[in-house]
Chain A
Amino acid sequence: MNTLAATLPRRLLPALSLDTLAAWLLAIVWIFPLLYAVWAAFHPPAFMVRFELLAPLTLENFKTAWGQAPFARYYLNTFGLVTGVVAAQFVVCTLAAFAFARFPVPGKNALFLLVLIQLFVFPEVLIVENYRIASDLGLIDTIAGMGLPYVASAFGIFLLRQTFKTIPRELEDAARIEGCSWLGVLWKVYVPLAKPTYLAYALVSISHHWNNFLWPLVVTNSVASRPLTVGLGVFSAPETGVNWATVSAATLLSIAPLLVAFLLFQRQFVQSFLRAGIR
């Protein structure tokens, strides 16, 4: 992406063309809602719709939000959920992808198609029955219950299988000759060479599960397991009557870590989404 930008002839900045104007106008419209939330969160409630440059800044809204709902616990739950899901996905999808890429499993192609179905049949579409299954397994209101349906991700299996298939067999043979077990080959040859894929997959998966709402809402029913999104949903439900400055602050609190990570590692995020998308 950037190599192209670099090879373009460096001209003087183009005059303020219509395109530039349109691009900037659209950008301002697009970022405005987020900027507005920042404005509302850092000013006293009286300034919600009064835009004065010198309006006093305050952290009061954040304090109130933090005091009114157990955000620390929500953070912990989301953090546990995201790390748990990504770690489990890595293990399960790696093993399956390795089998699909390299082992003569009978009926492999049919099985692989069966896996791909999960790209369309998501856990949240099956909430009714998945709830029953989670409840039979005693997983209601647990972090495992929130994450487990997503662990065997068709997307992850697909992505890793594609990567594994591009790795030359000679490397594998060399390792086998040196007496490596199959798991040793996987661990020493395949996994290190697929690092960029793991990174891309992790970033996509982290942002998905940090933001996931419907299934966690269904499967949790107490503060002990609720993630940030569900906590935020409960907190800001209009009927609870919390004031908006506080809701803004709570909203920013729940998006901050991911947003900051995104702003810092923009290129990696964008590349990951692209890599994950173009399949």
Chain B
Amino acid sequence: MTLTAHRKLQLYGALLLLPAALLLGLFAYLPTISTVIQSLFLPGFRGAPPEFVGLDNYRYLFEDPKFWLVARNNLIYALGTIPTSMALSLAMALLVNRQLPGRGLVRMAYFTPTILPMIAAANIWMFFYAPQIGLFNKLLGAFGLGGMNWLGDPGVALYSIIVMSVWKEAGFFMLFYLAALQAIPPELKEAADLEGTSRWRFFWRVTFPLLMPTTLFVLINALINAVRVVDHLFILTKGGPNNATNLLLYYVYENAFAFFDRTTAATITVVILLVLAVVATLKFTLLDRRTHYQ
């Protein structure tokens, strides 16, 4: 009797899971598996069945200097955006965590870019970066300086993209730092003040270590964003000039929907999935273990 009741509950639970399982299977697991499979085959010509080629597609990919250029871009992009936006977001949080006239407004100013779509942000920054009429060059011109080709110069374009991304995401990370700062007991600061500890020392000895779980959390999110968000490229550079700002996911898009080379697109996707797997491992080991103490 109890056994059947238990069985019933099991069945009920399974039924509740069914819609989610179907959808996840269809749009997460199935495509992941078929992407991996596709990266191991070459499409057959004229209706011939696809040919299994093992890791050949990966060999071709790794022999392609363009792939390495794009991978290197993405690395520079990550190294350029992540530490900068994290440092800035922490600075913002510290700035608005104290008495400040107009604190609400300041906080809002920091956070608002986060709420905009990347496409809109890119449109706005396009006005700044445009060669002749762009605001940056007009400003430089006003000081008698020659303009830069912010998005057209292969040596500069990626950094212009980085600056825009930092602007877009710093405010979001600030939220988490701010919440963490407000959870630090004020007694710590009072005690430090009594002992005459300098602000600098207090920050590095007390605040920063206490913020560690937040820093890890923000880092994971920033890592994911560095791989996942490429919307701005569609407006600002389309990966150009000469692939100087091309990032991995944009390169997947190009391969699949501009060059119609699904195989290469699938192969690069697997590389991205591996990167994300590393990030996921990082999260599940480092972060989840640490945050228990919070």
Contact = CB atoms under 8 A, between A and B. Distances in A.
Contacts of A277: 175-176, 217, 221
A26 B92 contact: yes
A126 interface: yes
A132 B257 CA distance: 12
Contact of B228 (A19, A106, A124): A124
A48 interface: yes
Nearest to A108: B13
A50 B170 CA distance: 29
Interface stretch (B60-68, B72-80, B113-121): B113-121
B127 A96 contact: no
A206 B217 CA distance: 22
Interface string A1-38: 10010001001011000011011101110110110110
B182 interface: yes
Contacts of A130: 27, 31
Interface string A90-125: 011101101110111110100100110111111111
Interface of B is mostly: helix
Contacts of A102: 13
Interface stretch (A53-61, A66-74, A193-201, A253-261): A253-261
B127 A232 contact: no
A34 B257 contact: no
A262 B115 contact: yes
Interface residues of A, number: 97
B124 A34 contact: yes
A131 B117 CA distance: 22
A248 interface: yes
A120 B182 contact: no
A248 to B, nearest CB: 7
Nearest to B102: A24
Interface in B1-54: 6, 9-10, 12-14, 16-17, 19-24, 26-32, 34-35, 38
Interface stretch (B153-161, B204-212, B269-277): B269-277
Contacts of B252: 127-128
B24 A49 contact: no
A100 B30 CA distance: 22
A19 B98 contact: yes
Interface in A190-222: 207, 210-214, 217-218
Given A131-B256, A211-B118, A213-B231, A148 B126 contact: no
B23 A27 contact: no
Nearest to A111: B17
Interface string B97-117: 011111001101111110111
Contacts of B135: 36, 49
A33 B277 contact: no
B262 A128 contact: yes
A12 B74 CA distance: 49
A92 B171 CA distance: 31
B88 to A, nearest CB: 8
Contacts of A23: 95-96, 100, 106
A123 B27 contact: yes
A278 interface: yes
A104 to B, nearest CB: 6
Interface of A: 1, 4, 8, 11, 13-14, 19-20, 22-24, 26-28, 30-31, 33-34, 36-37, 40, 48-49, 91-93, 95-96, 98-100, 102-106, 108, 111, 114-115, 117-133, 148-149, 151-152, 154, 157, 182, 207, 210-214, 217-218, 228-229, 232-233, 236-238, 244, 247-248, 250-251, 254-255, 258-259, 262-263, 266, 269-270, 273-274, 277-278
18 contacts: A1-B182, A30-B110, A30-B171, A33-B124, A37-B123, A40-B127, A99-B14, A102-B13, A114-B29, A128-B266, A152-B20, A152-B27, A214-B249, A214-B253, A232-B120, A255-B115, A255-B117, A277-B217
